[in-house]
């Protein structure tokens, strides 16, 4: 069915054709025959170098992008609610994406991140205040920028996007800190499934859950002494993949049904230091040595059995003293 654009020559394929092929075949990639796999690879090869980093607002000039926004982590009931999250630079909410523009001028996002910009020097504890907050103008310089949900439907687009977000945030908020608020879950699996597999009683309080969270988040070495990996796909993305540090573990978060069911309400703050070299070092420690880079607060909570597998990174952004245990997250 793709005879007009041979799979071995993606340069002859238009971007519009490549997007159409990718959208049609990628949901079925595990069941494709050899011709289908070659066509999918050709579409990916055509799209990959054409991706652009864009800031998406309600008045965005990127035609068609609003209709194709998505969120695989905290999906709203109605698609229009995704557009409601879109603010302008200088407001508390900003969406960014990797996207390609076809020959007709239509834009197709390959990864989307929704960020919350806060002018209070506190790392976030709860997701509901962020999701429920309307778009408002910031009163002061942003202190914490929270990529509270990042979703990708294209190979490596998420990694490319968060790299661009890192550059954008620290160029626009040099005195701020980039910190996620990430549930310990991905897809239909997470901390709760892992605990059940370990035979752990789920009737636990917050501190007991936090102790088991350390078990879950410690890097696990691959077979035959290979590189270390994570039990948690989200931690793997942020720490093993991008070099973020574990700044805090948040237990007893009851704002999301999925977070409760799949993660027992446990979330994590993964902080991205501004210096790219620190990110590289953090990643190398995780992957090569099985060592977590953690904040002083996390170091104090770390069970004794793991104290030799942590690297403490005192993290204090310019202009404010880091508060990793705020009484509440003001919005």
Per residue in 90-108, pLDDT (tens digit) is: 999 999 999 999 999 999 9
**What is the pLDDT at residue 330?**
29
Rg over alpha carbons for the chain, rounded to the nearest Å, is 21
Q: Give dist(CA 195, CA 191) in Å, integer.
A: 6
Per-residue pLDDT reduced to its tens digit, 182-206: 999 988 889 999 999 999 877 767 6
Mean pLDDT for the stretch of residues 293-304:
94
Mean pLDDT for the stretch of residues 4-15:
67
Q: Please give the share of the chain, as a percent, with pLDDT higher than 70.
A: 91
pLDDT at 8 over 60: no
Query: What is each CA distance from 236 to 118, 228, 239, in whole angstroms?
Result: 26, 10, 6
**13 closest CA partner among 51, 49, 39:** 39
Phi, psi of 310 (to 5 degrees): -135, 150
**What is the pLDDT at residue 317?**
53
Domains of the chain with bracketed CATH: 11-47 (no CATH), 51-176 (3.40.630.150), 183-312 (3.40.630.150)
More confident residue, 267 or 252: 267
pLDDT at 4 over 60: no
Contacts of 173-176 spanning 24+ positions with Cβ under 8 A: 173/117, 173/141, 173/142, 173/143, 173/145, 174/274, 174/318, 175/141, 175/143, 175/317, 175/318, 175/319, 175/320, 176/141, 176/142, 176/143, 176/144, 176/145, 176/317
Per-residue pLDDT reduced to its tens digit, 139-164: 889 999 999 999 999 999 999 999 99
Q: Give dist(CA 239, CA 232) in Å, integer.
A: 10
Q: Give dist(CA 310, CA 291) in Å, integer.
A: 5
Per-residue pLDDT reduced to its tens digit, 263-297: 988 999 999 999 999 999 999 999 999 999 999 99
pTM above 0.85, yes or no: yes
């Amino acid at each position: 069915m793709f005879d007009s654009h041979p799979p071995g020559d993606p340069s002859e394929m238009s971007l519009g054709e490549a997007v159409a092929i990718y959208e049609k075949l990628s949901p079925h990639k595990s069941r494709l025959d050899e011709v289908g796999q070659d066509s999918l690879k050709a579409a990916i090869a055509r799209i990959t170098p054409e991706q652009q980093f864009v800031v998406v607002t309600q008045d965005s000039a990127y035609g068609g992008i609003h209709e194709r926004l998505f969120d695989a982590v905290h999906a709203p009931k109605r698609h229009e609610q995704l557009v409601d999250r879109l603010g302008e630079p200088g407001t508390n909410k900003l969406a960014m994406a990797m996207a390609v523009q076809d020959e007709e001028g239509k834009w197709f996002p390959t990864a989307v991140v929704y960020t919350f910009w806060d002018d209070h020097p506190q790392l976030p504890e709860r997701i509901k205040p962020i999701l429920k907050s309307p778009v408002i103008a910031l009163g002061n310089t942003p202190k914490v920028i929270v990529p509270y949900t990042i979703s990708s439907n294209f190979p490596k687009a998420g990694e490319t996007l968060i790299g661009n977000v890192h550059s954008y945030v620290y160029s626009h908020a040099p005195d701020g800190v980039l910190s996620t608020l990430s549930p310990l879950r991905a897809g239909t699996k997470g901390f709760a499934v892992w605990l059940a597999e370990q035979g752990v009683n789920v009737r636990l309080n917050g501190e007991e859950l936090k102790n088991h969270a350390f078990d879950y988040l410690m890097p696990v070495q691959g077979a035959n002494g290979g590189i270390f990996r994570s039990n948690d796909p989200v931690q793997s993305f942020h720490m093993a993949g991008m070099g973020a540090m574990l700044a805090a573990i948040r237990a007893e978060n009851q704002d999301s049904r999925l977070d409760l069911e799949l993660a027992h309400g446990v979330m994590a703050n993964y902080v991205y230091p501004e210096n790219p070299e620190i990110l590289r070092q953090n990643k190398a420690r995780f992957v090569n040595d099985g060592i977590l880079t953690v904040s002083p607060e996390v170091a104090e909570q770390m069970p004794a059995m793991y104290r030799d597998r942590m690297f403490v990174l005192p993290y204090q952004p310019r202009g404010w003293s880091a508060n990793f245990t705020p009484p509440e997250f003001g919005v």
